[in-house]
Amino acid sequence: MKVFIISMRNLILGGIVFLIVLVAGIMLLVKDPLNVSDSYRPGGESIPASTVPVNKPVGTEKPSLNLDIQVDGTTAEVSLLTQNFEFIEENGDMSMEPVYGEGHAHLYLDGEAKGMVYQPEFFLKKLPKGEHELRVELNYSNHLPYKVEAVQKFVVK
């Protein structure tokens, strides 16, 4: 009888661990803010993630980024003020050679990834009241970072 009690305890603990791992896996599948799961395309050309653009023209300065945030009610109008950087639309072709000084931005609100932006101006709508932190980083068209980012706090009243 004692062996059965120990085995039942282990069975219950194992079941709890299994449920926790299952729920965590489902949460990762459901919450995919940057569409990471879309990057796999069966039969598509493989591109190494470590490919760093090396075509930086001699004498070209590193891009810079500043934020201008105007809050109106629960909407924030954000302007990305850049130098030596041009926003380009995603064309879905990851095999294209990234060009220095071109790309898009990754957007993080209150530490949570919110997506990518391909224009220097956009709106954040239906923001909850309180203080928020916006972090934006510039990236090449292949999503590698320029290591240029700007962070700014703002308040929604």
**CATH code of the domain containing 94:** 2.60.40.10
pTM: 0.63
Residues 139 and 71 in one domain: yes
- Banded model confidence at residue 89, pLDDT cuts 50, 70, 90: confident
pLDDT at 32: 57
Residues 23 and 68 in one domain: no
Q: What is the pLDDT of residues 22-69, one digit of tens each?
A: 988 887 766 655 555 444 444 555 555 545 554 667 667 889 999 999
| β-pair type (86-87, 102-109) | parallel
Q: Where are the alpha helices (DSSP H) in the chain?
A: 2-30
Question: Per-residue confidence at 14, pLDDT binned at 50, 70, 90?
Answer: confident
Amino acid at 34: L
What mean pLDDT, rounded, does the chain reach? 81
Residue 59 lies in a domain: no
48 assigned to some structural domain:
no
Grade residue 81 by pLDDT with cuts at 50, 70 and 90.
very high
Q: What domain range is 17 assigned to? A: 2-31
- What pairs with residue 68 in β-bridges? 79
Q: Which amino acid is at 37?
A: S
